[in-house]
Amino acid sequence: MKVSYKVPATTSNLGPGFDCLGMALPIYNIITIEETVLPSTGIEVNVMQDDNNSELLELDNIPQDKDNIVLKAVEMLYNLVGQEANELKININTNIPIARGLGSSASVIVGGLLCANELLGFPADEAALLSIATEVEGHPDNIAPAIIGGLVMSSMEDDGSIIYRRLNWNDDWHITVCIPDFELATNVSRSVLPENVSLKDASFNSKRLAMLIHAIDTKDTQLMKYALEDRLHQPYREKLIPGFKEIRDALKHKDQILGTVISGAGPSIIVISEKNELEYIKDTVKDLWNDFNINSEIKTMKIEMNGAVKIE
């Protein structure tokens, strides 16, 4: 038996929504798991890429053995139901750029779990899958939208359960994704964050997150311009992303642009605009990143509403 799932990329945080907001994007990984017929063939993990994205996909450092995160997630589900993952072939066709803050790891974790769950006869419900995937990933902000699609706010509780709700994104707000040609590992990006923050900064982010949720709920464009500011992670992470401050400062003077934020742990950048400002954004970002000898891929896209889907 062979099962395949297509899982979207995600962007998380959206400024002040640190570790609790995530949005699915229409870039996809495809994960296929096949139960091998012959006994004692063991576990085989293969990672492939779309040649069209080869410049942004560096696969050399992806483990293709027991350290692969897809295999770890699959083994956790098998162990949960009292079985062992012994004879499996796992194929990962990756089109989501790796270590760019676009949820590539969440995508393959989710895909692997959904495939394994079907092979096992669907022993795990959505809540269980969210919990297992979050345990592997570390936080649910990318996991939840990868599974259910759309814009999702989520929280991992002390017992490992995930509380989440979908929010209704304003279709008139365009999302432009700016992907640089260099990687930034999540553990490096997290290492620059302080262990403690001031009450002033925590209060600032609470206000901005409240504004953000209300702006999204009411489609308040003017409030959205204030809501995308952050003091918990971006001031520290922007030092790891050459040109980010310059890009943000250059774009904020355009009336139709609501804000510029770091996508997840970075280094990709998300620009939110009231109308499609792709050419203006592309020219500005490319020119400024060129000053730092950084090439990029820039595209405006719609939010992905479907989340992970099975491929027949």
- Tokens for 28, please give them: 């996809």
Q: How far is CA 173 from CA 65, 256, 259, in A?
A: 42, 10, 11
The one-letter code for the residue type at 185 is A
Please give the pLDDT value at position 260: 97
Counting Cβ atoms within 10 Å, is residue 118 exposed (0-12), middle (13-18) or buried (19+)?
middle
Q: Which of 90, 100, 34, 41 is nearest to 67 (CA)?
A: 90
Q: Is 47 helix (H, G, I), strand (E, B) or coil?
A: strand
Least confident range from 60-64, 171-175, 221-225: namely 60-64
From the centroid of its chain, how far is CA 245? 22
Contact 241, 234 (CB under 8 A): no
Inter-CA distances, 151 with 19, 247, 290, Å: 13, 25, 32
Helices (H), the chain: 69-80, 104-119, 126-137, 143-148, 186-191, 199-218, 221-227, 234-237, 244-251, 278-290
Angle, helix 69-80 to helix 104-119, in steps of 10 degrees: 30
Helix axes 126-137, 69-80, angle to 10 degrees: 140
Return the higher-pLDDT residue of 175 and 37: 175
pLDDT at 65 over 70: no
pLDDT in tens, 198-238: 999 999 999 999 999 999 999 999 999 999 999 999 999 99
Cα separations (Å) of 112 from 48, 76, 168?
15, 11, 28
Distance CA 101, CA 18 (A): 13
Domain positions in the chain are 2-168+303-311, 174-301
Q: Is the pLDDT of residue 172 over 60?
A: yes
CATH for 2-168+303-311 (2.40.50.430, 3.90.1150.10, 3.20.20.140, 3.30.230.10): 3.30.230.10
83-113 per-position pLDDT tens digit? 887 788 889 999 999 999 999 999 999 999 9
pLDDT at 48: 78
Of 79-83, 166-170, 191-195, the one with minimum mean pLDDT is 79-83
**Is residue 55 very low, low, confident or very high in pLDDT (cuts 50, 70, 90)?**
low
More confident residue, 205 or 276: 205
Place 312 in a pLDDT band, splitting at 50, 70 and 90.
Answer: confident
Check: CATH 3.30.70.890 for 174-301? yes
What mean pLDDT, rounded, does the chain reach?
91
pLDDT for 277 equals 85
pLDDT of residue 51: 54
pLDDT of the residue at 45: 81
Phi and psi at residue 73, in whole multiples of 5°?
-65, -45
Higher pLDDT, 13 or 80: 13
Residue 45 or 146, more confident: 146
43, pLDDT greater than 90: no
Output phi, psi for 294, to 5 deg.
Answer: -115, 125
Model pLDDT, residue 39: 64
